Structure 1
Amino acid sequence: MTRTGPSSRLLMVMPYSQFVRKAAEAGFEVWAIWDPSLREQKYLDEVAEHARELLLTDFGDEAGLRALIAETVRAHGIGTVLHLGAEESMPPAVAEAEELGVSPNPASAVAALNDKAAMRALLAAHGLSPVRSEVAGGVDEVAAAVARLPLPVVVKPARASGSRGVALIRDADDLQEWTARVTEAALAGPYLVEEFLQGPEFSVETLSSGGEHHVIGITAKRTTGAPFFVETSHIHPAPLRPEERAALHAVVIGLLDLAGYRFGPAHTEVVLTARGPRIVESQTRLGGDRIPLLIESASDYDIEAAIFRTLAGEPVEPPQPRHTASVGFFFLPAGRLESVAGLDAIRALPYVQALHFPFSPGDELPRTTNSFTRHGYVVVDAESPAEADARIARVRGLLGADVREVSLAAPKGAHR
């Protein structure tokens, strides 16, 4: 389909290569902005392949990014500016787009959802998903906030992602370990200190159009638990009773309404506690950890393509899952990878949809402390969650990685 006029001209900031391709397939003329320090040239070439123009800038230079957006919108009569990438560079991009009148969302909505502290304050102000919490401006203020709340508590940077800087604080030793970790990683505040939510965890994917929010799917989430809460696997669709599903729908749609979110995907994490669903966090983007592929494998629904069909005016039609899909992550010891075997055997399995193992012999495997330091993943399809678990276990058993482990001193006070 070919579209004409300003409404067909789309500027995307930090678009993944498949986004540009799928936007073009939906009939849009696409301009793309990327920071070349974040991706290798081969990837940028893939982005450029389906774009009218690829523009490069430093996302850390907010004034420069805003100026490039304004210049491109005015030079080409851009009708819409979208940022569907990482949250860090969203604020200046959405603010500039709103000022130019080409943002489908108010900047306030994006800020309210992406900033964990702002989201918690918004929910508290309206009595939705109540969670005891405090905001601490700096590391030195976290200890005082911890002292005022019943232990255990969770502490995390308000604007970080991928489980970075998340910890369960049960005592002074945990607090000391967390302080050392976020200081070393330069994870700046503000920090959110809140009660520890206990119960099964879920990711809720939505697609909004004209302020109406559609739940596309719910994914069950498993983590390592304390101290780092790194995701180990996901099952889609989540096995839920109808009343549980309805409760998750209601709390997520309630949050999106309160934030004033108008258009696009959102990824919201929720814990189903004994007191009802409690929102952990939300982002104005698609879920990571290959959740879009899980939805497509289980339902034949391409949520990425649906974003651009929706932008073009088509109605949102949530899918009905036909079977189960799961992603399982690899967790290997930290150290030097001496050899790896089994990858071809894994790829040959008929139920394997994707395999990612980005290491070769000689590489150093990091210690896993967040989503970015896991050691790869496999995506499988199955007829049930139990079968998916069995298939993930088989794949993990086939992965033969010989690692020369390094001796890692445990951080002072860390709990194993």
Structure 2
Amino acid sequence: MQTRPDRILMVLPRARLVRKAVDAGHRVWSVWDPVRRDAAERGEVARYSEEVLTVDVTDESALRALVVRAAQEHRIGHVMYLGSGMGAWPVLEEAHRLGLGANPPQSHLLLGDRAALCELLHGHARLGVCFRRVDLRTELHAAVDELGGPPVVVRSLARDVDRRPVLAPGPGALEAWAGRTPGPYLVEEFLAGPQYTVSTLSVDGMHQVVGITATRTGGPPHLVALEHVHPAPLGDRESAEIRSAVCALLDLAGFEHGPADITVVLTGTGPRIVSSRPGFSRDGIPLLLRLARGVDLEAAFFQTLTISRCLPHTDAVRTAGAAFFQLPPGRLTAVADLDEIRALPHVHAVHFPFRPGDPVPGMTDGATVPGFVVVDGANAEETAERLAAVRRLLRAEAEPAP
């Protein structure tokens, strides 16, 4: 099949990624699931796409057939799924079989699945995390004892079950969680120390750390991210250790080309990998990189598809931060001052996905945080002050859910 390197097939893309691919000189065909994605986003995707192809992404046979047919009909040069959600594995397999994928599917599995990542790093002197995989709830306490006792991080590996990690500080919390969560389970040692989100871009096997962002989290059980600040306040030695650890992980996973998002905890014995995912960072971090460094990581990735080279190094000239709105769970009854927040000159993005009457979920992971704001400042102190001021401005009222 004769292909065109400037033609991309994107599966479930975000509209801004389609726009940036087009701005970089590519033509994009987008695959969309009309049931799972909102109409407004589809309209923006269609605006920049050559065509929007619809399919039920839960129908694996139909999804595979569509990828093959579209690639052949439109002489696609790159098939992309920049994430790890529903439908990712069939798309990655077909892309690899057609010779149109940037990475082997296994590398996405290793980076996107926590159990696979633990197995990959098992025995690695610098990166490995002590863990146990257990099948039955009755085996959990023995696994905790083998890891040295609580606190431990646990998650279910069952299909179609909430896989969010939970910090169990003691036997009571572990039993309460396991009583409502089926196995098998992954039990990991709890890593104490500051947390960082590392944004990388790989080009033909060469890995580049574009930026390291400090992440402040809340308390147990879910350790939800509350705030990101870029650049992270790190010394040269700590920064070098984190960069080395992240690049070693990407090599081990066989990741060759594209963006990745890796979370690291800097422990007393050095950096340890706690999670990773192929694709771009969420929670506004790409915008933080652009505000602080002048680097548009998303646009740069699409440029590497035609010009195979890494990004030039840039130092941060400002500080940028993202803070998550913290609302009590329930039904939103009123929200005020969003327009006032958006009008502030140092506010560059406000994401608040709820309207009065909508249910607001509890803060249990990054996917259910009720919105965030992105600001910049001359330094870390000014940025922190501006984030705190925005939080005070947002006035929201909610009633308990029935």
Q: 1:362 to 1:104 in 2, by over 3 A?
A: closer
Q: Does 1:178 align with 2:169?
A: no
For the 8 Å contact 1:12–1:83, the answer to whether it is kept is yes
Pairs within 5 Å for 1:192-211? 192-211=186-205
1:374 is aligned, of 362, 369, 373, to 369
Pairs within 5 Å for 1:125-136? 125-136=123-134
For the 8 Å contact 2:157–2:163, the answer to whether it is kept is no
**CA distance in structure 1 between the aligned counterparts of 2:125 and 2:61, rounded to whole angstroms:** 37
Partner of 1:322 in structure 2?
Answer: 317
Deviates more, 1:25-34 or 1:164-173: 164-173
**CA distance in structure 2 between the aligned counterparts of 1:16 and 1:159, rounded to whole angstroms:** 28
Deviates more, 1:327-336 or 1:273-282: 327-336
For the 8 Å contact 2:84–2:278, the answer to whether it is kept is no
**CA distance in structure 2 between the aligned counterparts of 1:291 and 1:69, rounded to whole angstroms:** 30
Deviates more, 1:301-310 or 1:335-344: 335-344
Deviates more, 1:137-146 or 1:100-109: 137-146
Percent identity over the alignment is: 44
Residue 195 of structure 1 aligns with an amino acid whose one-letter code is E
2:10 is aligned, of 7, 12, 21, to 12
Partner of 2:348 in structure 1?
Answer: 353
Q: TM-score scaled to structure 2, two decimals?
A: 0.93
Partner of 1:388 in structure 2?
Answer: 383
Q: What is the CA-CA distance between 1:328 and the residue it aligns to?
A: 0.5
**CA distance in structure 1 between the aligned counterparts of 2:294 and 2:283, rounded to whole angstroms:** 18
Partner of 1:94 in structure 2?
Answer: 92
For the 8 Å contact 1:354–1:378, the answer to whether it is kept is yes
**CA distance in structure 1 between the aligned counterparts of 2:135 and 2:28, rounded to whole angstroms:** 39
Residue 148 of structure 1 aligns with an amino acid whose one-letter code is E
**CA distance in structure 1 between the aligned counterparts of 2:179 and 2:60, rounded to whole angstroms:** 29
For the 8 Å contact 2:92–2:101, the answer to whether it is kept is yes
Q: 1:137 to 1:73 in 2, by over 3 A?
A: farther
For the 8 Å contact 1:156–1:166, the answer to whether it is kept is yes
**CA distance in structure 2 between the aligned counterparts of 1:214 and 1:145, rounded to whole angstroms:** 37
**CA distance in structure 2 between the aligned counterparts of 1:141 and 1:45, rounded to whole angstroms:** 50
Q: Does 1:251 align with 2:245?
A: yes
Partner of 2:257 in structure 1?
Answer: 263
For the 8 Å contact 2:319–2:377, the answer to whether it is kept is yes
**CA distance in structure 1 between the aligned counterparts of 2:167 and 2:178, rounded to whole angstroms:** 12
Pairs within 5 Å for 1:75-154? 75-137=73-135, 142-150=140-148, 151-154=150-153
**CA distance in structure 1 between the aligned counterparts of 2:330 and 2:116, rounded to whole angstroms:** 39
Superposed CA offset, 1:23-47 (max 9, x none): 1111112111122222122211211
Q: What is the CA-CA distance between 1:392 and the residue it aligns to?
A: 0.9
Q: What is the CA-CA distance between 1:89 and the residue it aligns to?
A: 2.6
Deviates more, 1:352-361 or 1:288-297: 352-361
**CA distance in structure 2 between the aligned counterparts of 1:337 and 1:50, rounded to whole angstroms:** 34
Q: What is the CA-CA distance between 1:140 and the residue it aligns to?
A: 6.1
Residue 196 of structure 1 aligns with an amino acid whose one-letter code is F
Partner of 1:54 in structure 2?
Answer: 52
Q: What is the CA-CA distance between 1:64 and the residue it aligns to?
A: 2.1
Residue 89 of structure 2 aligns with an amino acid whose one-letter code is P
Residue 224 of structure 1 aligns with an amino acid whose one-letter code is G
Q: What is the CA-CA distance between 1:182 and the residue it aligns to?
A: 4.2
Deviates more, 1:61-70 or 1:134-143: 134-143
Superposed CA offset, 1:64-95 (max 9, x none): 21121111112222121111034443222111
Partner of 1:234 in structure 2?
Answer: 228
**CA distance in structure 1 between the aligned counterparts of 2:58 and 2:184, rounded to whole angstroms:** 19
Superposed CA offset, 1:232-269 (max 9, x none): 01001101000000000000000001111110000000
Q: 1:47 to 1:310 in 2, by over 3 A?
A: same
**CA distance in structure 1 between the aligned counterparts of 2:158 and 2:261, rounded to whole angstroms:** 15
For the 8 Å contact 2:359–2:401, the answer to whether it is kept is no
Deviates more, 1:279-288 or 1:333-342: 333-342
Q: What is the CA-CA distance between 1:389 and the residue it aligns to?
A: 1.4
Superposed CA offset, 1:170-219 (max 9, x none): 22321133235545xxxxx6542110000000000000000000111000
**CA distance in structure 2 between the aligned counterparts of 1:182 and 1:371, rounded to whole angstroms:** 20
Residue 371 of structure 2 aligns with an amino acid whose one-letter code is G
1:72 is aligned, of 58, 65, 70, to 70
Q: 1:140 to 1:66 in 2, by over 3 A?
A: farther
Secondary structure of the 2:289 match is helix
Secondary structure of the 2:10 match is strand
Residue 275 of structure 1 aligns with an amino acid whose one-letter code is T
Q: CA RMSD in A?
A: 2.3
Superposed CA offset, 1:69-123 (max 9, x none): 1111122221211110344432221111111111111112111111111111111
**Structure 2: stretches of 5+ with no match in the other structure:** none
Residue 175 of structure 1 aligns with an amino acid whose one-letter code is L
Number of corresponding residues: 398
Q: What is the CA-CA distance between 1:354 and the residue it aligns to?
A: 0.9
Pairs within 5 Å for 1:278-297? 278-297=272-291
For the 8 Å contact 1:13–1:85, the answer to whether it is kept is no
Q: What is the CA-CA distance between 1:383 and the residue it aligns to?
A: 1.5
